[in-house]
Amino acid sequence: MTAPISNRSKARFEGYHAARWAEPVVMELSHPGRRGALFAKPESVPSVPEGARRGKAPELPEMTEHDALRHYLHLSQMTLGMMGVSLFGTCTMKYNPRIGERAVAGKGLAEVHPYQPPETLQGIMEIYANFNDFLCEVSGMDQFVFQAGGGADAAYTHACVTRAYHASRGELEQRDQIITTIQTHPCSPATANTAGFEVITLTLEENGYPSVEQLKSVVGPRTAALMVNNPDDMGIYNPDIKEWVRIVHEAGGLCFYDHANFNGVMTRLRARELGFDACMYMLHKTFGAPKGGGGPAVGAYGCSAELAPFLPSPLVVRDGDGVRLDENRPQSIGKIREFWGNAPQVVKAYAWARAMGAEGLREAADLSVLANNYMDKRLSKVAGVSRSHEHIDAWRMEMTRHSVEQVTKDTGCTVVDIANRMTDFGIDALWLSHEPWVVPEPFTPEAGELWSKEDIDYWIDVLEHVIREAYDDPEMVKTAPHKGAIHQLKGDALEDPDRWATTWRAYLRKNASKT
Amino acid sequence: MTKAHPWMANSVQGIKDEMMAALGVDNVDQLFAQIPADHLTSRPFDLPPQLASEVELARHLDDLLSKNANAADNLCFLGAGAWPHYVPAICDEVASRSEWVTSVFGSPTSDHGRNQAWFEFCAQIGALVEMDFVGLPVYSWGCAIGHAVRMASRTTGRQKVAVPAAMDPERLSVLRNYCEPAEMASHIEIVEIAVGPDGRIDRDDLAAKLDETVAALYFETPSCHGVIEADPAGLCAAATAAGAEAIVGVDPLSLGVLAAPGSYGATIAVGPTQPLGIHMNCGGGVGGFIASPDEERYAREYPTLNISITETVAEGEYGFGLTLFHQSSYGSRDKGKDWTGNSVYLWAVANAVYMSAMGPEGFREIGNLILARARHAAESIDAIDGCSVDLSRPFFKEFVVQFDAADVAKVNQALLADGIFGGKDITGEPGVVGNAALFCVTEIHTEADIERLCVALREAVQ
């Protein structure tokens, strides 16, 4: 099915084929009476009130431990993820050093309860305190908190801190608007809205970012905050950002820097020095902790001394030679999630940061921007590929948004088709773009500091090959993948209430006539 | 950088030179020309020295983490949101597989296995709670409550939620943030329903407060004090009769012996996922689920990512894809339902393994074992002079220990000296009279452990 890649620099995964286990749904592996876990039988069991007692046993699979293990190992093998090359943009795919996994797997963290007496938690608290100091130095902020369960949760933390800050000044009712831009991650507008704010979204202009005039036209006495990232996913840095911060501050609003795209500016600027009141780092991306397919994650939220009283509790603070949990913080917003954060991810990120040091962070930033522009250069020579804002000829930051609009026009093959076909070569599905698509048929690769020049070249070779294939044999691309764990989904049932099924119960009910 | 770094393939000078040559630049700084000069920092970074050698880094981390005491070397009776349960070895084996530890999102075909595992998490939660629609997990139980209450506010168009006056303080604090301060136009008012001396919701107070302005009644069984609600159907019926949603919080590990919320009229079920094969991780093991009937009234209000089983173009082949994506914040930004983002999806895989290995009999056995061990512990503690437990309350896993005179903090200090983490000090919390602690007893606690606790307690309260 797969033609050899012409023009390839070095064979990497030619001949790749995903594991294909035709694995049934776990319920179908059930055989009555089989057991996967046994427990001691107590001498007597206290009675449960009748109205609270379980009637019918839960319809879970009955299987051996071995079958359960084998089933999920098969499923893991049918997960391509980062096993080949993943240049999944905006997610900054880094190496997730296994030293971190090793450190947190032991009972010294895994078997620790957050309510243990503080004197028994000194190790993890010291790591929190050390990493707080590290991130304060990196960002210029005065205090970090690790409670947020992801980047979006950190944006939500900011929305909650914004409420508390304005409420403390008696201005919350008046300040009911949060300003963001269309190229800011959806989590900023979404969390601002959930927190009860009206969201104003600025649109892009000629230079690839909204103008100062557009910002000025919406800033006013109702402005509670600005929530923005910089650079954006197109690799364009907004040079007016200091002026933006000044304008919003002048109107009485707070400024939040979503540092999702930190890799390119790491060690070159500090959020606080640009005037921002708060910022957020994704420890599961930017700081080397794994993504886990979608968490557990940490959005490390840092802010100025002025906002620190409002941070969620508890904070880990230094106290003489030791560290303690500070819960006595009357202006705190309380909890945005139970306990004090995904501690294992904090440890992994701390480990990564220590292994990098200041010179490693600088090197990573340099390599990411170098690699991205190297990619840009090569991609500019691939027929059918264009990049956003062609008229801006500045070197882009750590990622660039590209488009295969021309290929789609010429061949009917969309960027999704192309992404599917690329997985036949061991390449993780491309990151396209957040909604709405400002650029048609978009894709957004990001090489970061992890991927080798050989990996990057291979990735582009495959893209080039697939685009050529789109012109020569569009059906091959449109019907991809051909070497995946399964074939293309029939998507029509997914949005049909009579056919979607998020549980096996629902599936059986909706397909009763078939089964 | 004097040496190439083990995590950065292009940190070899020759490769950098090659790439710079391809770009026609001789200094990497030239590539950062977009950043105005006055944005660049002038202050150098005063960070601790680089520990690039793994052997040195490992020593540093081990030295730090060894300062923690842990629940394996000590006896742990702490629960209240993170509970000491046994984690079967296969859960760790599967959850540590690099394929899903490192994966991002991929496509339904390229990351098929992970999507199927996610579906199986939802399918097995659905089997436990007897509900047909389950979303991918959210950050925590408290967050699940928050989203469920907001869903209820949207389905009913009402802006009030009734909760028991005795509620776990952490979950309540999380919920308060989801409900917004009173200054916000979309504020959801939290109304507290009295809890009686039996630890159950006061029916009269509930009747007085449930009216056409209430979006939802939220209650837990077992409650935050471990009390099993004897008539959950009655509470759900009262809520739905008032046109409100009946949101019930359950411990999934109890559902082999306690009734499924879907069987007694709950319209939304939520609960923690940490008991299902996840280590406590100092609180970093928490996660939450949301389930409901598979009706559009509910399905179209989920803020979560949702994964559906479907067909592929190959006959008889399953595939798993996102459904109702457009209503998420990824699909609709601020017009979406609340927000979603990275959550605890890796834990969902471990949860799926746990539930499949347990099966219906495993859940029944562990449920009975926890009931029995907790009861035995409560009776033993109640027999100690100066301690008492209300044994008339039916409870699961957790129960309140009352101290006649002893100060809980002092008791716990004494227990710690004996290698025991005593129950959470709940003195002064709502629904608690006098000096009290919340003890948690699970399948990991042997009768000998309980005896050891009682010996230490007896001494501590003297």
> Which chain A residue is nearest to residue B101, measuring alpha carbons?
A292
Pick from B52, B183, B345: CB nearest A295: B345
Band (pLDDT 50/70/90 cuts) for residue A5 is low
Measured from the Cβ of residue B284, the count of other Cβ atoms closer than 10 Å reads 31
Question: Which residue spans of chain B are classified as CATH 3.40.640.10?
Answer: 89-354
| Cα distance between residue B382 and residue B385, in whole Å | 8
CA distances from B46 to A288, A360, A428, B61, B428 (A): 21, 13, 37, 21, 45
CB contact under 8 A, A68 and B353: yes
* Nearest by CB: A60 against B1, B20, B358: B358
Contacts of B263 in chain A (CB under 8 A): 55-56
The predicted pLDDT at position B31 comes to 98
Q: Read off the pLDDT band of A513 (50, 70, 90).
A: confident
Tell if the pTM clears 0.95, that is, is over it. Answer: yes
Smallest CA–CA distance, residue B202 to chain A, in Å, is 17
Q: Which of A174, A27, A22 is nearest to A165 (CA)?
A: A174
Cα A235–A236–A237 angle (5° rounding)? 120
Per the prediction, chain B carries an average pLDDT of 97
Tokens of A94: 């880094």
CATH architecture of A100-356: 3-Layer(aba) Sandwich (3.40)
CA distance A83 to B260: 40
Least confident of A490-494, B14-18, B114-118, B188-192: A490-494
Report pLDDT digits (tens) over B48-85.
999 999 999 999 999 999 999 999 999 999 999 999 99
Q: What are the backbone angles phi and psi of residue A422, rounded to the nearest 5°?
A: -65, -25
CA-closest candidate to residue B162, choices B195, B129, B186: B195
pLDDT at B315 over 80: yes
Q: How many helices (H) and strands (E) does chain B have?
A: 14, 15
Write out residues 430-449 of A within 8 Å (CB-CB) of B.
431, 434-435, 449
pLDDT bucket at A13, cuts 50 / 70 / 90:
low
CB contact under 8 A, A193 and B334: yes
Determine the straight-line distance between the first and last CA of chain B, rounded to whole angstroms: 63
The pLDDT of residue A1: 39
Which residues on B lie below 8 Å from A225 (Cβ)? none
* Mean pLDDT for the stretch of residues B207-235: 98
Q: Is the dihedral of CA A314, A319, A324, A327 positive or negative?
A: negative
- Residue B140 and residue A337: Cβ atoms within 8 Å? yes
The percentage of chain B sitting over the pLDDT mark of 90, rounded to a whole number, equals: 99
Asked whether the predicted pLDDT for residue B460 surpasses 90, the reply is: yes
Q: Which of residues 168-207 of B touch A (CB under 8 A)?
A: 170-171, 173-174, 176-178, 180-181, 183-187
Report the C-alpha gap between A343 and A323 in whole angstroms.
16
Q: What is the pLDDT of residue A514?
A: 72
Q: Tell me the torsion sign for CA atoms A491, A492, A494, A495.
A: positive
> How sure is the predictor about B2, in pLDDT bands with cuts at 50, 70 and 90?
low
pLDDT at A8: 52
Q: For the domain A365-493, what is the CATH code? A: 3.90.1150.10
- DSSP secondary structure of B92-132: HHHHT-HHHHS-----TTTTHHHHHHHHHHHHHHHHHHT-S
Q: How far is B100 from chain A (nearest CA, A)?
A: 6
Nearest Cα residue in chain A from B233 = A51
ipTM of this complex prediction, to 2 decimal places: 0.98
Distance CA B191, CA B204 (A): 14
Contact B402, B434 (CB under 8 A): yes
AA identity, residue B357: A
Domain B75-83+360-461's class? alpha beta
Q: Please compute the mean of the pLDDT values over residues B290-303 and round it to a whole number.
A: 98
Strand ranges, E, within B80-238: 133-134, 160-164, 189-193, 216-220
CA neighbours closer than 13 Å in the CB half-sphere of residue B238: 21
For residue range A347-371, list pLDDT tens digits in order: 999 999 999 999 999 999 999 999 9
Q: How many Cβ atoms are within 10 Å of B268's Cβ, its own excluded?
A: 29
| Amino acid in the structure at residue A391 | H
The top-level CATH class assigned to B89-354 is alpha beta
Rounded mean pLDDT of A223-235?
A: 96
Report yes or no: A169 at the B interface, CB cutoff 8 Å: no
- Measure in Å the smallest separation between the Cα of A472 and chain B Cα atoms: 23
Distances B149 to B2, B190, B268 between C-alpha atoms, Å: 56, 10, 9
User: Residue A377 and residue B135: Cβ atoms within 8 Å?
Assistant: no
Beta bridge partners of B162: B191, B217
Task: Give ranges for CATH 3.40.640.10 in chain A.
Answer: 100-356
pLDDT higher than threshold 90 for residue A6: no
Angle at B251 between CA B247 and CA B254, to 5 degrees: 120
Task: Give the pair of three-digit tokens for residue A221.
Answer: 């006495």
Is pLDDT above 80 for A7? no
The mean pLDDT value of chain A amounts to: 95
pLDDT of amino acid A291: 95
Rounded Cα–Cα distance for residues A447 and B118 (Å): 28
| CB of B347 closer than 8 Å to CB of B137 | yes
Q: Give the pLDDT confidence of A78-135 residue by residue, as tens digits.
A: 999 999 999 998 889 899 999 999 999 999 999 999 999 999 999 999 999 999 999 9
What residues in A contact B105, CB-CB < 8 Å? 88, 91, 293-294, 429
The answer to whether the CB atoms of B50 and A71 lie below 8 A apart is no
Closest chain B residue to the Cα of A116, Cα to Cα: B421
Cα separation, B309 vs B321, in Å, equals 7
Could you tell me the pLDDT band of residue A386, with boundaries at 50, 70 and 90? very high
Angle at CA A129, nearest 5°, toward A127 and A131? 65
The proportion of chain A whose per-residue pLDDT surpasses 90, expressed as a percent, equals: 93
Q: Does B264 touch chain A (CB under 8 A)?
A: yes
Q: Which of A9, A10, A12, A72 to mutate to test the interface with B (most CBs of B within 10 A)?
A: A72
User: pLDDT band at residue B429, thresholds of 50, 70 and 90?
Assistant: very high
Contacts with A79 from chain B: Cβ below 8 Å: 99-100, 103, 106, 111-114
> What residue spans in chain A does CATH classification 3.90.1150.10 cover?
365-493
- Contact list in A for residue B283 (CB cut-off 8 A) is 113-114, 338-341, 343
Q: What are A159-202's pLDDT values in tens digits?
A: 999 999 999 999 999 999 999 999 999 999 999 999 999 999 99
Tokens 């190297």, located at residue: A374
Contacts with B, A 59-88, CB within 8 Å? 59-63, 65, 68-69, 71-83, 86, 88
